[in-house]
Amino acid sequence: MSSLVAASDLARAAYCPRQLYYARRDDDRAPPPAVREVRSLAFEYPDLLDAPGDELAARPISVSASAYRENLARLRERDDWGALTDPVARDVFLAGKDCRGIAHKLVRSPGDDQPPVPSLVSPGEPPERGVWEPQRVRAVALAKALAWERETSIPRALVEYPAVGVVRTVRLTTGNKAAYRRALRIARDLDFVPSRLRNSAKCESCAYRERCGVKTWSLASLLGR
Ligand code: SF4
């Protein structure tokens, strides 16, 4: 079990190998309380859909109350709305052949006897389309771990962004599986201090920016370097 790579490490490896190095060195794993507060929204969609504006304003949503209700109304149109709001299980530890991690929900597949799919609940906001690569990699890792446990194919996973009321699907496409394998190689082989990213906007929101000593992209630009 100990040789299994944490799915969250894969996400860091996909984001920046050096960030993974810092997180492992400092054993920096537990999500901050603010993350837990955002994640709890993913278990209250029906109530939040009907919540008055002042109640929504007191919750950690990152869009206006009206935009949030509109997003949840769109979410309600999905085939799996019922399954999303009444998951088979929550905070399930999964251990696969190569990876382990927590699926924040197991969500029934709509209208058939297919196995459930894992859902990763992100505290952040989604890109304009699809899912950020670190989360895609982590979602693939959870789907593969669940497939290993159930000895069946799990063709997709979900990534929920409850701070904005959006849910996206990650399919186990060739490209997504290749990204997963790349991250797995990095996470397994990491026995050195990886180079800093160069001129990457990723550093702007990296918690290790100061100790990493990287110049932020905007500062570097301002200095003309
Ligand atoms: S500041 Fe940039 S280079 Fe340094 S760990 Fe974070 S993302 Fe990686």
- The pLDDT value recorded for residue 112 is 65
- The pLDDT value recorded for residue 225 is 42
Alpha-carbon distance of 24 to 43, in angstroms, equals 30
Q: Does the C-beta of 23 come closer than 6 Å to ligand 1?
A: no
**Residue 88 C-alpha to ligand 1 middle, in angstroms?**
37
As a whole number, the mean pLDDT across the chain is: 92
Banded pLDDT at 217 (limits 50, 70, 90): low
Instruction: List domains and CATH numbers for the chain.
Output: 5-194 (3.90.320), 196-225 (no CATH)
Q: Does the C-beta of 90 come closer than 6 Å to ligand 1?
A: no
**Residue 19 C-alpha to ligand 1 middle, in angstroms?**
6
In three state form, how does the secondary structure of 129-157 look? CCCCHHHHHHHHHHHHHHHHHHCCCCCEE
Banded pLDDT at 218 (limits 50, 70, 90): low
Given a cut of 80, is residue 224 above it in pLDDT?
A: no
pLDDT digit string (tens) for 122-180? 999 999 999 999 999 999 999 999 999 999 999 999 999 999 999 999 999 999 999 99
Q: Does the C-beta of 13 come closer than 6 Å to ligand 1?
A: no
